[in-house]
Structure 1
Amino acid sequence: MRRPDGGERAARERLVRVARGLEDGDLLVRGVQVIQPATGEVFGADVLVAEGRVAALVGTGSGARAARVVEARGAFLAPGFMDAHVHIESSLLTPARFAEAVLPRGTTAVVAEPHEVANVLGAPGLAWMLEAGRSSGLRVFASVPSCVPASEFECGGATLGAEEVAGALRLPGVLGLAEMMNYPGVLGGDSGVWDVLEAGRGGRVDGHAAGVSGRDLMAYAAAGIHSDHEATTPEEARERLRAGLWLMVREGSAARNLEALLPVLRSGPRRAMLVSDDVSVDELLELGHLDRLMRACVAGGLHPADAVALVTCNPAEYWGLRDLGLVAPGYHADFVLLRDLVGFEVLETFVSGVEARAGGVTPPLPGGGVTLGPGWDAATFDIPAHWPVMEIRPDQITTGMGELGTGDARLVVADRYGRGEHSTCWTSGSGLTGGALAVSVLHDAHHVAILGGTDADVRAAGRALEELGGGVVVVAGGEVRASLPLPFAGLMSDLPPREAAARLSEVTAAARALGCRLPYPVTTLSFLGLSVIPALKLTPRGLLDVTQWRLLPREEELSRGLPLLPGGRRLHGNAED
């Protein structure tokens, strides 16, 4: 075990003595097949641990001794899995409860991108995420949100400028600058965006370049961006690798890109990794976390050691975590015992040489509820007749732009911070035919989003979220049919994962009863307001054409003689070039 006084030199000196056989270790894992992703090998060994680190890998039957022995009986031993880009908030769980869901799946470390809680509460939200992570049983690192708000078309509960970002980058456990989503600002020389980039200069800077290609992609990389997780086709993935970007292959609840990008991974790119980005609690419990992604990789033709590298040594190298990612002398003894290298069934997870257990009390997180204001009870939700229809895509966070008259369910997005703004548009693709599904999780500003429903149902759903302090609800006939409270910033629950998943399943079933056919309706709905993902997104300020980077005009603005966009749409008066 790690010395309580934290004496690094004394611990290292003892580690050396244990490695040389001059002193017994703390743990001996005997008879394992070690997966060495750095070389692609799988070999038999005994693993000796002391001071929370690997001391030595010795031949079976070497006579190595330790205070405690675990008989592996031929099980496979891999480095602990690392998710290099994940929004813990999207699981709808606090960090401690998220750890309960993923530690049994072999995940021992994550790099959280807490721009959800930061959009609601600002820098204190980031600090809370790190504090909550420290007691979770999981290694929770963080990157500093670079886009709070995500764009000039959004207004959440907080703003992080260059000064706040620079301060946050100095916090223990912070590894770099998070995904730079405002690529139009990067390419267009927006001074505020570039001030944030300069604050993060010298460290890792994650990218987020949905649909960007050609010279624009080269320019984006030239700005100092190091990675991207928005590739959806092999061509996009290869273009990013050729531009020197690390490829993060995303497979989450709302965006599933792994199957499409397997041909690229089979070619063995040196700078690639697997990430979940956004994954909900029900999917974590039903399908798994990074273990699920490795199963898919091996089924798709990758060697198991290459699949393991995508969630161990590669992300550790990317983030500069020099003591993680391998089972090797001097590295943290974070490893996973696996039954096989096909199903990646986890037998046991170890962190610092001890069987991993989630724990700790979630610290309080004041603020972040839902305030719709007194005008909500009389609000109506008409749709401008000239606005196009937002086409919802079940397994992507992008949307399409449909023709007028093709919508089947309304979408209402209302400011949850008491400013009284709301907008409404038509959508297609959800299948919702009655009632309303409502959430207070709306990337990234996290307003209230309500899909479907009469005016009365929409108003009732909004008030229900307000009473819960944030959450997820299904309303029909003015009555709540199912709900999941999310009292932590209106984003997270501290319920045990299975209880939270059961409540979420009730919400999904209630939505299905109203005709919804989306595989993960809550997660999909939560992305319909993200203003940096094409093609249409709805904010409280109006319907945004992301491809043109402009809000569409409302009815009252049509008479102002604003110039037209391609297809006959007019520019918003506040968003001209």
Structure 2
Amino acid sequence: MSGVSAGVSEGMRGVDRRRLVRVARGEEPGDLLVRGAQVVQPATREVFAADVLVADGRVAALGSGFQAARVVEARGAFLAPGFIDAHVHIESSLLTPAGFAGAVLGRGTTGVVAEPHELVNVLGAAGLEWMLAAGRSSGLRVWASAPSCVPASPFEAGGAVVDAAGVAGMLRLPGVLGLAEMMNYPGVLGGSGDVWDVLEAGRASGLRLDGHASGVRGRDLMGYAAAGLHSDHEATTPDEARERLRAGLWLMVREGSAARNLEALLPVLLERPRRAMLVSDDVSVDELLELGHLDRLLRACVAGGLHPADAVALVTCNPAEYWGLHGSGLVAPGYLADFVLLRDLSDFRVLETFVGGQEARAGTVTPPLPGGGVNLGAGWDSATFGVPAHWPVMQVSASQITTGVGEPGSGDARLVVADRYGRGEWSACLTSGTGMDGGTLGISVLHDAHHAAFLGGTDADVRAAGRALEAMGGGVVVVSGGEVRASLPLPFAGLMTDLPPAGAAARLGEVTAACRALGCRLPYPVTTLSFLGLTVIPALKLTPRGLLDVNAWAYLP
């Protein structure tokens, strides 16, 4: 199939509901009949034998004795609703929407709610418009939320600034389901005028207001929820998760490449909370191909004791309900015919994925995306990157996007962050926990302003890595001894490649191998490095302007 248009009203789709009724009643044949399936019904927590009849891209009926122009024999396979990722940054996979579709359709994912604040921080509202357009030709249903924090905080300066009026405009775009994660929780709690103008624009839209409250507890969490936010995906402990549920927030349990919270929060999911979802947030292409997407989260949930139907609800009807996708998330009459045939309900091996009643295929056409290159400034060739002696060491974790404060003298690699938009600013600090030495890993994917970041290496190697990023128009590169050892160009805004998933994963694998040869201990070094500049996640983060103490909400002197 060439693609699926997401977020378009039913009337614009031209759905003939009267025909759907006739097909359901057996008065005329359907378009597709999946015969002999075991239907997974998360709404009733059961699995039952039934044929599934499809007409005009929607489920017409469940039962037996139907006729259709085409028949697919399920032979007892399990038929579940297509999986929906309720919160994902497609750009973090390093793939375009079509490439992302190629990586996840075969894993049972049929729809995603993209949060393209990576693109919007680089290119402004045009980035969201491109994401929606690219999604329509991807083969995957791509909805979106409108980025609320561009820049993410007052401490960031990226390629664009989007004010409340700009947010209101994005919220009116077809396919936009709500306001994206409000990361500036200090601004929410402190009554910042700019932040509250954005919140008011979100409320005026009548759509969802996604939350992002890393480390917020107690009265601060009550205040954050009282501001009108509806969800949070930053819980890392069972107590934090329960506190969010008690505050009326929907719980998004995150399991991505940089932040892994599912194992810690599984005890809460076993309590079967009514308002919970599984999301990937940020997941790299190599992990998608190696471990899977939402299917691997389902495997972990069932292995941990969750009933398969309850696990499936976390990626189907629950996210559909949260985002107001009333025609998605169930295999039921009138719902979109987005479903997946599974060999079993433990391994969740996918036999076939259907979108709109058609066997899903990734798209091959991606719209052009002008702009978004890398410009490190005229002084880069002679730059040096000294670290202030009194600055603390940034402790890096392989499994979380939070950082800590390391012990003095524990630093094993220098981190340099440089403005990529031509302003000629950079700063450096020491990190521990990475093991990187003998060379430099350079990237142009640094949440959320997406400056250039360099881990390890001499001044000369850092400068050489920067020039390589400029020449590629953005990307990922490993330099040692002045020579490029591995690279992955990301010509789409310095964030994404149009290589197919396997090709992108192979190039990224070469980068990871080159990093490990230089002593790096991080399983996914590119993904981990990409979060070391995110100023809304504790405790220390580096920007071109200096080292930020996120808890104190101030730069170190």
> Normalised by the size of structure 1, how large is the TM-score?
0.94
CA distance in 1, matches of 2:13, 2:325: 17
Q: Deviations over 1:522-550 (max 9, x none)?
A: 00000000000000000001000001000
CA distance in 1, matches of 2:479, 2:62: 58
What percent of counterpart residues are identical? 82
CA distance in 2, matches of 1:435, 1:220: 43
Alignment of 1:42-441 (within 5 A): 42-58=47-63, 62-201=64-203, 202-441=206-445
One-letter code of the match for 1:296?
A: A
Secondary structure class of the residue paired with 2:98:
helix
One-letter code of the match for 1:127?
A: E
The structure that has the greater radius of gyration is 1
One-letter code of the match for 2:177?
A: L
Q: Is the 8 A contact 2:374 2:494 kept in 1?
A: yes
User: What stretches of structure 1 of length at least 5 have no aligned partner?
Assistant: 554-577
Q: Deviations over 1:487-543 (max 9, x none)?
A: 000000000100000000000000000000101000000000000000000000100
Deviation, structure 1 residue 404: 2.6
CA distance in 2, matches of 1:407, 1:351: 50
Deviation, structure 1 residue 8: 6.3
One-letter code of the match for 1:551?
A: Y
CA distance in 1, matches of 2:236, 2:11: 45
**Partner residue, 1:444:** 448
One-letter code of the match for 1:51?
A: D
Task: Choose 214-223 or 202-211, whichever is displaced more.
Answer: 202-211
Secondary structure class of the residue paired with 2:266:
helix
Q: Deviations over 1:407-450 (max 9, x none)?
A: 11000000000000000000000011210001000000000000
CA distance in 1, matches of 2:13, 2:319: 25
Task: Give the count of matched residue pairs.
Answer: 548
Secondary structure class of the residue paired with 1:374:
coil
CA distance in 2, matches of 1:384, 1:460: 23
One-letter code of the match for 1:124?
A: A
Q: Deviations over 1:114-167 (max 9, x none)?
A: 000000000000100000000101000000000000000000000110000000
4+ long deviations beyond 4 Å: 5-10
Deviation, structure 1 residue 373: 1.5
Deviation, structure 1 residue 63: 2.2
Q: Is the 8 A contact 1:295 1:343 kept in 2?
A: yes
CA distance in 2, matches of 1:10, 1:430: 54
CA distance in 1, matches of 2:305, 2:46: 17
CA distance in 2, matches of 1:477, 1:434: 8
Deviation, structure 1 residue 20: 0.4
Choose from 11, 14, 17 the match for 1:12. Answer: 17
Q: Is the 8 A contact 2:15 2:56 kept in 1?
A: no
Matched, 1:488 2:492: yes
Q: Is the 8 A contact 2:477 2:488 kept in 1?
A: yes
Task: Choose 115-124 or 403-412, whichever is displaced more.
Answer: 403-412
Choose from 487, 512, 515 the match for 2:516. Answer: 512
Matched, 1:551 2:555: yes
Distance 1:163 1:252, change over 3 A: same
Deviation, structure 1 residue 325: 0.1
Q: Is the 8 A contact 1:386 1:404 kept in 2?
A: no
**Partner residue, 2:7:** none
Q: Is the 8 A contact 1:387 1:404 kept in 2?
A: no
CA distance in 2, matches of 1:262, 1:345: 21
Deviation, structure 1 residue 402: 1.6
CA distance in 2, matches of 1:334, 1:100: 16
Secondary structure class of the residue paired with 1:172:
coil
User: What stretches of structure 2 of length at least 5 have no aligned partner?
Assistant: 5-9
CA RMSD in angstroms comes to 1.2
CA distance in 2, matches of 1:229, 1:330: 31
CA distance in 2, matches of 1:377, 1:8: 55
CA distance in 2, matches of 1:10, 1:224: 35
Q: Deviations over 1:179-237 (max 9, x none)?
A: 00000000000000000000000320111101000000000000000000000000000
Choose from 29, 32, 35 the match for 1:30. Answer: 35
Q: Is the 8 A contact 1:251 1:293 kept in 2?
A: yes
CA distance in 1, matches of 2:211, 2:430: 31
CA distance in 1, matches of 2:259, 2:65: 50
CA distance in 1, matches of 2:504, 2:311: 30
Secondary structure class of the residue paired with 2:16:
helix
CA distance in 2, matches of 1:108, 1:361: 18
